[in-house]
A and B are shown apart, each in its own frame.
Chain A
Amino acid sequence: MKKYLAVALGILTAIGGFVDIGDLVTNAVVGARFGLSLAWVVVVGVIGIVLYAYMAGKVVALSGRATFEIIRERLGARAALMNLGASFLMTLLTLTAEIGGIALTLQLLTGIVPLAWIVVATLAVWLVIWLVKFTWMENAAGLLGLTLIVFVVSFFVLGPDWGDTVDQITQQYPHPGEHPLTYWFYVVALFGAAMTPYEVFFFSSGAVEERWGRQDLMLARLNVGIGFPLGGLLSLGIAGSAFLVWSPEKVDVSSLSQVVLPVGEALGTIGLALVLIGVLAATMGAALETALSCGYTLAQYAGWPWGKWHRPAKAPQFHVTIIVCLLIACGVLATGVDPIMVTEFSVVFSAVALPLTYAPILVVANDPEYVGEETNGPVLNALALVYLVIIVVAAVAAIPLMVLTGLGS
C-alpha cells in the first residue's frame, strides 16, 4: 500500500493545478461552450508541468533545495522579490477561492448559507496544517480527490457520439456564436492553470518535507508521470460531461451545482454523493496546497525555517504567514465576493510569476553544483526551452485577452 501512496504528493499537487474550484468551473464552462475542442490544451499543459515539476523534484532529490530558494539564488533579490510578490498574491487569491469553494460545497451538501461555512472551512484548513503530519494530509486529500474520477465515468455512461467527439478533438470546427478571441482566452486560461507556479512550490517543498534523496529520482518521475496526467484526465472528464449535458440545452455554466449535475444525471444519487466528496476533497486539498505554498515561498525567500516536519514553534514565521493568509482569505470572503471570480483575476499575476519561476528551475537543473552529473539531457532541455517560450507568450497574452473578451464572456 505504501508503494501506491508514494505518488500522493504528485496527485495532490495536480489537484491544485487541474481541479481546484476555479478549474472545476472553468473546465465545465469550456466543455459546455467548446466541447472537447480544447482538450489539446490540457495535453500541452500536462506535458509542460510534468517537465518542470520533474526538474524541480530532481533538484530537491540531488541538492535538497526547494524551488523558491533557487529562484532567489539565481534571479537575485530584486527579480526574486518581483516574482515573490506576483506568485504570493496569485496563491493567496487562489487560497481565498478554495476556502470559498469548500464553503460552497458544504452549502450544496447541507443547504446552510456559505457565510457560516467560511469560518468552518478556514479553521479546518488551519487545524490540518497545525496538527496533521504532511504524509497523512497528502494521502487523505490526494486519494479522496480521486473520487472526481466519477466525471470520467459519467462521460462514458452518458454515451457521447464518438464520431463527433473525435471531430471535436481533431478538427477545431468553428464555434457559432463564439468570438475567436474567446477561444484563445480559454486556451491561455487552461494552460495557465495547468502551469500555476504554486504547483512547483508545493511539489518541491513537499519533496523536502518527505526528505527525498538521490535514491528518490525514480519516485520523482513516478509522481509527475502519474499525478499530473491523472489531474488532466479529471479535467477532461469534467469538460466532457458538461458538454454532453449542458451544450444541447445551450446553458451557460456558472455555478458549482451546474458543474456536478451531469454526474447526478449519469450515475444518480450515489454519483452525486461521490462527486461532492471529490469536490470537497479537491478544494480542501487545493486550499492546503495554496496555504502551505504561501508559507513556503515567503520563508524560502527570507531564509526562515519552514516545513510541517517541525513542530510549529520551530518555524514560527512560517506558521504566522499561513495564519495571516487564512485570516485575509476569510476576511475577503466575508465581503460576499464570488470565490470563482477571484481565481480568474489571479491570471493577472501570471505574466510575471510564470517566466520568473520556470526559467530558474531550468537553469539550476543544468547546474552541476546542484545536480552533479544528473544535468538535463538534450531532449529534455530542448522541450523545456520550447515550453519556456510558450509560457512567456501565454503569460504576456493573458492580460490583453482577459480585457478584450471580458473574462471570456
Chain B
Amino acid sequence: MTRLPPHPAKDGKVLDANVHLLDRLVVDRNDEPVSVVSDLELESEDGGRPRIANLVLGSAIVSRFLGGHPPKHHLDRMAWRKVAALDTVVHLRVDRSELDVIWFERWLRRHVIGRIPGGRRDPE
C-alpha cells in the first residue's frame, strides 16, 4: 500500500478528498472510462492518521444519497494501490476488461447491443 505524504505536505500535492477525488471520473490504463468515484473507504493503523484503503465506484452512490451501509460484498471497490496518477481524472494501472464493475456493460453488450445488426461495426 502506497503511503500518502503526511499533511501538511512539504513537497507534492495536497488533495482535498471532496474536491479532487469524490465524483471524479475513473479511467483505466488506456484512458477508457471505468466509473466514477462514489465514495472512499478509509483505514488507520493503531489510531494513526487515516489513509485511503479503497475507492468505492459505481452504484455505491445510492447509499451516499439515501444513507445506510450496503453489505461490503455489494460494493465495487478499487484498491488505492491500483491508482496510477491523479489529474482531472483518476488513472488506474489496470485494464478495464479485468474489472467486475463493468458487468452491466458486458451484459448489455452480449445480450442487447451486440445482437442488433451493425452493433459490432465501426460507424462509417
Contact = CB atoms under 8 A, between A and B. Distances in A.
Nearest to B38: A77
Nearest to B114: A313
B119 interface: yes
Contacts of A312: 113, 116, 118-120
A130 B112 CA distance: 14
Contacts of B35: 302-303
Contacts, number: 88
A134 B105 contact: no
A69 B88 CA distance: 10
A138 to B, nearest CB: 13
A310 B35 CA distance: 17
A313 B109 contact: yes
A134 B123 contact: yes
Nearest to A75: B23
Contacts of A305: 32-33, 105
A132 B87 contact: no
B101 to A, nearest CB: 9
A357 to B, nearest CB: 16
Given A303-B33, A304-B105, A311-B122, A76 B116 contact: no
B113 A320 contact: yes
B72 interface: no
A65 interface: yes
A80 interface: yes
B46 interface: no
Given A65-B88, A77-B65, A303 B105 contact: no
A59 B38 CA distance: 23
Interface in A317-358: 317, 319-320
A311 B123 contact: yes
B118 A316 contact: no
Contacts of B89: 65
Given A131-B123, A303-B35, A308-B123, A320 B118 contact: no
B76 to A, nearest CB: 11
A370 interface: yes
A78 interface: yes
B105 A317 contact: yes
Contacts of B88: 63, 65, 73, 369-370
A304 to B, nearest CB: 7
Chain B interface size band reads 35 or more
Interface in B61-87: 61, 64-65, 87
Contacts of A77: 22-23, 38, 61, 64-65
Given A72-B36, A303-B33, A319-B113, A313 B120 contact: yes
A169 B44 CA distance: 68
A133 interface: yes
Interface string A115-149: 00000000000000011111010000000000000
Nearest to B117: A130
Scoring B36, B119, B120, B123 by chain A CB atoms within 10 A of each residue's CB, the highest score goes to B123
A316 B23 contact: no
Interface of A: 63, 65, 69, 72-73, 76-78, 80-81, 130-134, 136, 301-306, 308-309, 311-313, 316-317, 319-320, 369-370
Given A76-B18, A130-B119, A130-B123, 11 more contacts: A65-B89, A73-B23, A73-B25, A131-B123, A308-B123, A311-B120, A312-B116, A312-B119, A313-B113, A313-B119, A316-B113
21 contacts: A69-B25, A72-B36, A77-B38, A77-B65, A130-B116, A132-B123, A133-B124, A136-B124, A303-B36, A304-B105, A305-B32, A305-B105, A308-B123, A311-B120, A311-B123, A312-B113, A316-B108, A316-B109, A316-B113, A317-B105, A369-B88
Q: 3 smallest A-B Cβ distances: which pairs? A: A316-B108, A303-B36, A316-B113
